[in-house]
Amino acid sequence: MSIVADVLIGILVLFSVRRLLWVMASWLRRRTLTETGRWPEVLIAVAFRNEQDSLPCLLSSLDALKYDAERLSICLVDDASTDASTDLAE
């Protein structure tokens, strides 16, 4: 039984070390904004339904984002709201 346990522990250690090396390698090759020279394109999709009370706070937070406006898209999706959410989103 101890041989089986030793083999299983060895396999777990091997996979853990492999995972640790993979994470470290991904940190090292991560490109920063200064390396690429521009921001990546981002799409923020927000689905809402009957969010009349919380939508103004969300919209002001999205408006306050400090991101390149040409590279940022925001898509608001109304899921058949029955309150004034649609009017607020427009």
Which tens digit of pLDDT belongs to each residue from 27-45?
Answer: 887 666 666 677 889 999 9
d(CA 36, CA 32): 7
Q: Are 54 and 86 in contact (CB under 8 A)?
A: no
Report the candidate in 6, 79, 9 with the shortest Cα–Cα distance to residue 46. 79
Judgement on whether residues 7 and 41 belong to the same structural domain of the protein: no
Judgement on whether residues 40 and 10 belong to the same structural domain of the protein: no
Predicted TM-score (pTM) of the model is 0.56
What integer is the mean pLDDT of 14-23? 94
To the nearest whole number, what is the mean pLDDT of the chain? 88
- Structural domains of the chain, count: 2
Judgement on whether residues 58 and 90 belong to the same structural domain of the protein: yes
Helix (H, G, I), strand (E, B) or coil at 48: strand
Say if residue 41 is exposed, middle or buried (CB neighbours under 10 Å; 0-12, 13-18, 19+).
Answer: exposed
Whether 13 has a pLDDT exceeding 90, the answer reads: yes
Judgement on whether residues 26 and 44 belong to the same structural domain of the protein: no
Helix (H, G, I), strand (E, B) or coil at 58: helix
Element (H, E) at 47: strand 42-48
